[in-house]
Structure 1
């Protein structure tokens, strides 16, 4: 099925996913007859889809690299496109072309790589569209909005021949790397428990009546694969994370980063059991995702615990957001300000390191070097994205999930199984 921009408003989610599945099938059998990936010229030509706060930050960071040019940008909001063009012209002295339809942007033959920084519900289709035409991909986490789509992208990316990097920039910080190395060295002894968290003082999104979309916004295109729903300001820019149709809550927003450190350091795959408890305990507004949540990921010899509070003023271990490894000989706590070991005769520490630009530089270098496997590969992004989705699914069904890790299935739970593919 081919769908034009004008047809998207009546395009059901089932049809949308079936289309994505067919695209994936084409890719896995050699799809476009691609034998190699486009070679970069003097400056890598990059397109950016999604110009929210983070998307624009990524675009500007790429534009500051001497060997990169942001040639095209895409967003459904004309005002964001105008700001993006102005800001990028000031940095790279050339104005990128602007598009409201990502497919039209991808029709440009000169793009070498594409950044997808849209709301979660668009990740799967846009990632597949990028890979289908053989472009390199930088994909924000969660890598897709459902467990099924996360797995689909992971499989397609593995066979695409493209450099596909998940947005896990902490893996490129020297102090994060040294913290992981210390845990893996046995310095803490056996580590039976690790904890990751995010405690933020979020603002209420209030109660908001349905209204007309702002001028210059293509709301039907913004909805894309999501169910048809009238516009409401508090489900749009900045707040879509807190609605199941578009985002994955605080767990999807911060859990992908801090839980990733635990999985990385302890060399873990998917857990055998996931259980969540929490709810909307404090806010009185339209949000759907929990403002308070605890998730336990059970493994044979270690437990990983996630916790978030969107109304807190003091985080775990005195840090707003971080990851802690509780070993038999000591505890290591790491966040973006550095790391420190407690309760060990040798109480080591390390200060903060730059990681955001290093992650983007790694992506560019992997492309110019002819491909490669980075620390934040799509496999790493897929693992932690799946874990976060499973935590949310356990919360939504109100019970623990027993996971068949080999077949990526929830055992004997039709309701949870349905949420693995429906967001």
Structure 2
């Protein structure tokens, strides 16, 4: 399997490692990237010279590929996907699939005119945990789901203020960065049509008057600041996360919530937070039906089925390890099978388009303090 890569960053390199484990015949055949050091990195790790191209068009014209992975920064996801679609090649596309409504509409039109199968990077929907939830809901054990309460308290949230993710023109905001995953797995379980959304977001912690562009290493408070790499107890620090998150140019909200109405009249409540740390981290939900409730947390790997009219409680335990709780490996296995011609996508672009639409409408709702219809108009 000859793979073309557009944007060879850390996230997509991790995806490629997982792909090779699931499909050992897969290999990087060509790369489009503006950073020359990426070529040296690939050669030193694989011992094989991988051709680098300046443009996607040149790579597609000169190389015989079986599939393409897009791992650029978020604002380029749409542009690069539109360049791949005419080739008809299978495409692995990182989320969010677009960061603006204009790009989202362009992506939808380009996809509808193409024959490419797309796998969107939504690993949560294919985890064993969510697959089990889907089976329980579809069985009718808890009745029809009539309410969902979902939470994502992100314990590594400082990445959105101390790394390039702080640039909202790149990320599109944190509904698109995080809620897009949660909206998708909820949507996958429910199988209903969302019709309206209202949202609110706040920036209460990661703001301040420190100079724009300030790095932790240059800050006079770097021995006392709890977000500084120089403080040993700073949780979830990464050496690449070096910008001051209390500077005047720190972007992104640090909490957000949304209410989503569905065509049946039921609604979902969702809340995400980016300054919770350590054991306060949580990502999960409650799916409530008349007969019972499903309660789970990805981070603990524990799923409970709590029956309402009998004292019965079922407990399921899953691995809560890395790789998006096992979802990454399931997605890349699916992508490899698509390239081999023996599968269809388990995370289609239609799913990515709907989730991004919901996130963009949530952002608009929060900024205009209005309810938003979830439509393409």
Normalised TM-score (structure 1): 0.70
Deviation (angstroms), 1:338: 2.9
2:332 corresponding residue in structure 1: 360
Any unmatched runs of 5+ in structure 2? Answer: 208-246, 320-324
* Alpha-carbon separation, structure 1, partners of 2:85 and 2:100: 19
1:313 corresponding residue in structure 2: 277
Contact 2:30/2:63, CA 8 A, preserved across alignment: no
Choose which of 267, 283, 286 in structure 2 pairs with 1:303.
Answer: 267
Deviation (angstroms), 1:194: 1.4
Which secondary structure does the structure 1 equivalent of 2:313 belong to?
Answer: coil
Contact 2:198/2:365, CA 8 A, preserved across alignment: yes
* Alpha-carbon separation, structure 2, partners of 1:195 and 1:314: 22
Deviation (angstroms), 1:334: 4.3
* Alpha-carbon separation, structure 1, partners of 2:10 and 2:374: 37
Aligned-residue Cα RMSD (Å) equals 2.5
1:283 corresponding residue in structure 2: 206
Q: Deviations over 1:112-158 (max 9, x none)?
A: 21111111110111001011223221111111122343343234334
* Alpha-carbon separation, structure 2, partners of 1:195 and 1:77: 43
* Structure 1 pair 103–136 and aligned structure 2 pair: CA distance change class (3 A): same
Deviation beyond 4 Å, 4+ runs, structure 1: none
1:17 corresponding residue in structure 2: none
1:66 corresponding residue in structure 2: 24
* Alpha-carbon separation, structure 2, partners of 1:51 and 1:396: 34
* Structure 1 pair 110–245 and aligned structure 2 pair: CA distance change class (3 A): same
Which secondary structure does the structure 1 equivalent of 2:8 belong to?
Answer: coil
Any unmatched runs of 5+ in structure 1? Answer: 1-43, 207-233, 410-423
2:190 corresponding residue in structure 1: 266
1:10 corresponding residue in structure 2: none
Choose which of 371, 391, 400 in structure 1 pairs with 2:362.
Answer: 391
Aligned: 1:245 with 2:169: yes
Deviation (angstroms), 1:66: 2.1
Normalised TM-score (structure 2): 0.78
* Alpha-carbon separation, structure 2, partners of 1:154 and 1:204: 30
* Structure 1 pair 375–62 and aligned structure 2 pair: CA distance change class (3 A): closer
* Alpha-carbon separation, structure 2, partners of 1:181 and 1:156: 34
Contact 2:362/2:372, CA 8 A, preserved across alignment: no
Which secondary structure does the structure 2 equivalent of 1:130 belong to?
Answer: helix
Structure number with higher relative contact order (C-alpha < 8 Å, ≥ 6 residues apart): 2
* Alpha-carbon separation, structure 2, partners of 1:181 and 1:52: 35
Which secondary structure does the structure 1 equivalent of 2:259 belong to?
Answer: strand
Q: Deviations over 1:23-71 (max 9, x none)?
A: xxxxxxxxxxxxxxxxxxxxx1111112222111123333443221111
Contact 1:163/1:367, CA 8 A, preserved across alignment: no
Q: Deviations over 1:79-126 (max 9, x none)?
A: 334323433x1xxx5332223433333332312211111111101110
Contact 2:69/2:91, CA 8 A, preserved across alignment: yes
2:74 corresponding residue in structure 1: 120
1:400 corresponding residue in structure 2: 370
1:219 corresponding residue in structure 2: none
* Structure 1 pair 251–263 and aligned structure 2 pair: CA distance change class (3 A): same
